Structure 1
Amino acid sequence: MSIELRHLRCFLAVADTLSVTRAAERLHLTQPAASRTLRQLEDALGVRLVDRSTHHLALTPDGVAFRDQAALAVAAFDRALAYGHHAGWPLRLGHAWSAAGADTTTLLRRWHEEHPDTPLQLLRIDDRTAGLARGDVDVALLRGEVRAPGLVTEQLTTEPRVAGLPADDPLAARPALCLADLAPRTLAVNTVSGTTTLDLWPPEARPSSTLTIGNTDDWIAAITGARAVGVTTSATAGMHPHPAMAYVPLTDAPPVPVVIAWRDAPGHPRIPDLVALAREVMG
C-alpha cells in the first residue's frame, strides 16, 4: 500500500488531539475509518506510531519522531496548492515571543519597502522553534540555544536579561537586581519556548519553587497576578509593557543570544534576503 496525504493528516490529527475519536471528528470521518487509516500508515511504515495499550492514547518514540516529518510534508503540500491563489508568495517569519524586539517595526517596514512583491507574515507560534521544525514558517527568530536537527542558525545579537516583577513588589523599586534576590520567590518558567531554567542559578541557591506556564501571555498573567516572578530579556520589556508589570535589569545573568533560523533544505527563494536584512537591522 502506498502512503497518501490522508494518512498523514489522520496521524497528525491523532497526534494533536491524542484521541482517535476527536481526530475523526476533526477530519469528518467515522472513528473506525480513522483507526483503519492510522493502522494502514503504521503497516506501510513498519513501525508503531501510537500506543493504544493505556487508557490515555500516547505517541510512541517513533510517533514523536515521525510527527515533525509528517507535518513538514503536509505543510509543503498545502503551501504548494495555496501558491496559485496568492499574488505573491508570502514569506512566513515565526517567533515564539518578542519577535525582533525593538527592531521589529524597522524590520517589517524595511522589508515592505524593499520587497513589495513578497508579503512578510509575522507569526507568533508557541513552540521552541516557532513552528520552523514543523514547516509552519519559513524562517524564525529564536532565543537561546537551538538544538533541533535540520536547522541552520545565525546569531544576530544578544539581549540582556531582566527580572519581571509585579509593579508593586518591593524589589521593583530597585535600579537593578541579582539572581540571588529572586531565589526566595516562586519562578514562572516557560517550558515551551522560554530560555530560563533553574540552571541559571547555582545548585545551592535556586528558587524555592516554580510555576510552569506555556506562553508569554500566561507568564505576564502569573507575574502581574503576584503568583510568581520571572526572568526574560530586554525585548520582552519593550514588546510587552504592562501597567502592573515592572522589568528590572539583572546584573549577574548572562545575556541571551538571538538567532535567525531556517531549514537546511530547499525553501522560499527570499530567505537569503530576509537573513541579510535581519543581519543589517539587528546586528
Structure 2
Amino acid sequence: MTAPTPASASGVELRHLRAFAAVARRRSFTQAAEELLITQPALSRTVAQLEMHLGVRLLDRSSRGVALTETGAEFLVHVERTLAAFEGALAAARGASTVRLGFSWLLPDPWAQRAIAGFERATGAQVELVRCDDPLDALDRQNVDVALVRGGRPVGSAVQTVHLYDEQRVAVHAREETEDGGREHVDAALRWQDAPEWTLVVNTASGTTGPWCWPDGNGPRRYVETANFDEWLESVAAGRGLGIAPNTAERRVHHPVLRFVPLTGAPPSPLRLAYRPETGTGSALLRRFLDAALEAAVTCTDAGQA
C-alpha cells in the first residue's frame, strides 16, 4: 500500500473513527466488520479514507494480519477518548445515567451483586459492566468510569482508589496424571515463604501476585508471564507453573485439571475501586456508586464473606 497523500482532515467523520477503533482493537478487518455489521470492503474503504484525510498511515497491513503504526497507536488513544466523550454526551442529552464498571475477571461475590443492586435501587441509574484485560488502561482511555483493581500494584498518581476489603490468597496447580489415567494433586498445602522454589505463572495485566509482591527480591526465581486471566488459567492447567489467586477463583473456577490448595503465610490481596477525579460521569453519581460499593463491602466483611 502506498503512503496516504496529505489532505485536509476536515472530512473526518465519526464513522471513520469508529471504523479505525474497531480494527485497532480486533487487529482484524474481518472481525471488525462483523462487530460493526458492515462488509469488509466497506470497512477497508472507510479506514483508507481516514488515512487519506489525515495524510498518515495508521495501520500496517500484511499477510500476517493488521498492526498499528506508531502514529496509529498514539491516535487510537485520542480516538477512544473522543468516542467515549461522544457517547457520554449522548447519554446526558437523553437523560440516561450510567456508571461503567471495568473489571478483568470474576467479579467478587456477593459484593458485586449487592453493590450494583443497592446503587440501582437508590439512584434509578444503571451499572454497565465492561470486561477488559487491563481495567486501569481502560480507565486511562476513559472507556470506563471506575475500575475494579485486585492486588497491591501501583495505580499511578492521577488515579484515586477506594479500598473495599481484602481477599485471601490460595494456590492453584495442575493435577498430575496417575498410571491409570486419573489425576492426583501434588501438594496438600503450600507456604508463602517457599516462594523461591516456585515457577510462578503471572497475569501481567491484572493479576494479584507477581514480582511486585516481593520487593526484597525473595520471590520466585522463575516466572511465566501471561497477558490476561484466560491465558493465566490455561498456562497453570498446562503445568507450566504455580498460580496464586484470590479465593474467589476457588469458588468460581471449575476446571477438571486444576486443584486449589491452601497457601499459608500469604498476605491478603486488597480489592479496590480506582477512578479519575475528572471522570466524565457526574461526580455526584460516581460518589453514589462508591458509597454503595463501600456499604456492600461492609456487609460482606461482617458476614465473613469477603
> TM-score category by the smaller chain?
0.7 to 0.9
Instruction: Determine if contact 1:94/1:124 at 8 Å carries over to the other structure.
Output: yes
User: Where do 1:23-38 residues align within 5 Å?
Assistant: 28=39, 29=42, 31-38=44-51
User: Where do 1:141-152 residues align within 5 Å?
Assistant: 141-143=148-150, 144-147=152-155, 151-152=159-160
CA–CA distance in 1 between the matches of 2:153 and 2:281? 23
Instruction: Determine if contact 1:94/1:131 at 8 Å carries over to the other structure.
Output: yes
Quickly say closer, same or farther: Cα 1:18–1:108, change in 2 above 3 A. closer
Q: Report what 1:16 is aligned to.
A: 25
- Aligned-pair distance for 1:64? 2.6
**Taking every aligned residue pair, what percent have the same amino acid on both sides?**
30
Instruction: Determine if contact 1:182/1:229 at 8 Å carries over to the other structure.
Output: no
CA–CA distance in 2 between the matches of 1:150 and 1:7? 30
CA–CA distance in 2 between the matches of 1:170 and 1:55? 41
> Which residue of 89, 92, 99 corresponds with 2:97?
89
Instruction: Determine if contact 2:88/2:280 at 8 Å carries over to the other structure.
Output: no
What amino acid does structure 1 have at the position aligned with 2:224? Answer: T
- Aligned-pair distance for 1:105? 2.9
Quickly say closer, same or farther: Cα 1:189–1:113, change in 2 above 3 A. same
CA–CA distance in 1 between the matches of 2:144 and 2:21? 17
CA–CA distance in 1 between the matches of 2:104 and 2:50? 33
CA–CA distance in 1 between the matches of 2:254 and 2:77? 34
Instruction: Determine if contact 1:83/1:89 at 8 Å carries over to the other structure.
Output: yes
1:105 paired to 2:113: yes
1:233 paired to 2:246: yes
Q: Report what 2:78 is aligned to.
A: 69
Structure 1 counterpart SS, 2:139:
coil
CA–CA distance in 2 between the matches of 1:179 and 1:63? 45
Where do 5+ consecutive residues of structure 2 fail to align? 1-8, 176-183, 299-306
> Which residue of 146, 159, 183 corresponds with 2:167?
159
Instruction: Determine if contact 2:115/2:295 at 8 Å carries over to the other structure.
Output: no
Quickly say closer, same or farther: Cα 1:60–1:250, change in 2 above 3 A. farther
1:40 paired to 2:49: no
1:210 paired to 2:231: no
Quickly say closer, same or farther: Cα 1:106–1:35, change in 2 above 3 A. same
CA–CA distance in 1 between the matches of 2:116 and 2:31? 39
TM-score by length of 1: 0.75
1:220 paired to 2:233: yes
What amino acid does structure 2 have at the position aligned with 1:121? Answer: E
User: Where do 1:116-195 residues align within 5 Å?
Assistant: 117-129=124-136, 131-143=138-150, 144-147=152-155, 151-166=159-174, 168-171=184-187, 173-174=188-189, 176-180=190-194, 183-185=197-199, 187-195=200-208
CA–CA distance in 1 between the matches of 2:127 and 2:61? 42
Q: What is the CA deviation profile of residues 172-199 of structure 1, one whole-angstrom value per residue up to 9, with x for unaligned ones?
A: x12x5225257344x3222332233345
What amino acid does structure 1 have at the position aligned with 2:294? Answer: R
Q: What is the CA deviation profile of residues 140-169 of structure 1, one whole-angstrom value per residue up to 9, with x for unaligned ones?
A: 211233546754323333334321234632
- Aligned-pair distance for 1:205? 5.9
> Which residue of 258, 283, 286 corresponds with 1:271?
286
Count, aligned residues: 272
CA–CA distance in 2 between the matches of 1:164 and 1:152? 31
CA–CA distance in 1 between the matches of 2:47 and 2:58? 14
What amino acid does structure 2 have at the position aligned with 1:76? Answer: A
Where do 5+ consecutive residues of structure 1 fail to align? none
Q: What is the CA deviation profile of residues 11-40 of structure 1, one whole-angstrom value per residue up to 9, with x for unaligned ones?
A: 313322445687678554263542231232
Structure 1 counterpart SS, 2:140:
coil
What amino acid does structure 2 have at the position aligned with 1:77? Answer: F
Instruction: Determine if contact 2:103/2:131 at 8 Å carries over to the other structure.
Output: yes
1:280 paired to 2:287: no
Quickly say closer, same or farther: Cα 1:166–1:17, change in 2 above 3 A. closer
What amino acid does structure 2 have at the position aligned with 1:180? Answer: D
Structure 1 counterpart SS, 2:191:
coil
